[in-house]
Amino acid sequence: MDDLGIARERFVEKDLTLCIVKHQKVLFESHSRGISGFLRAIDELGERLSGASAADKIVGKAVALLSIHAKIKALYACVLSSKAMELLKPEGIRVEWNEIVESILNQCEPVPCPFETVAASITDPEEAYKKLKALQDSLKPHR
């Protein structure tokens, strides 16, 4: 089984929201909602993500940009937005999905996800990482 197959299998078996595999070894797993798991994987693993395969619950433009930034080579999504597909295919990233949708909505109400709103006007993956990370940090509860 290839890395994407392993990531997908563990993703389903363990009811994860994100699983990243490289050279048949699991690098990262998460039950976090939204893109926080992917951002954490980038922060923790950095360049080790290059060439890895990922299985993610929901992949919109924001996660697609993060995948390009991290140099992910293959990606499975339960739900994939058409905007994400438009970004991933030209980059040579292998993409598999269960369902394709026009846009990714917020978890609590039928409006665009705030991360998708930020990502909408961004084309540079490095800029996307910085702005999405800043948005995530701004949404964390203050102690």
pLDDT along the chain (143 residues), means of 10: 97 97 98 94 97 97 98 97 96 97 78 88 96 92 57
> pTM to 2 decimals?
0.94
Q: What is the pLDDT of residue 101?
A: 93
Q: What is the pLDDT of residue 143?
A: 46
Secondary structure in 3-state letters for the chain: CCHHHHHHHHHHHCCCCEEEEECCEEEEEECCCCCHHHHHHHHHHHHHHCCCEEEEEEECHHHHHHHHHHCCCEEEEEEEEHHHHHHHHHHCCEEEEEEEECCCECCCCCCECHHHHHHCCCCCHHHHHHHHHHHHHHHCCCC
Number of domains making up the chain: 1
Which domain covers residue 124, as residue numbers? Answer: 3-139
Q: What is the pLDDT of residue 139?
A: 84
Q: What is the pLDDT of residue 84?
A: 97
Domain with residue 98: its CATH number is: 3.40.140.30
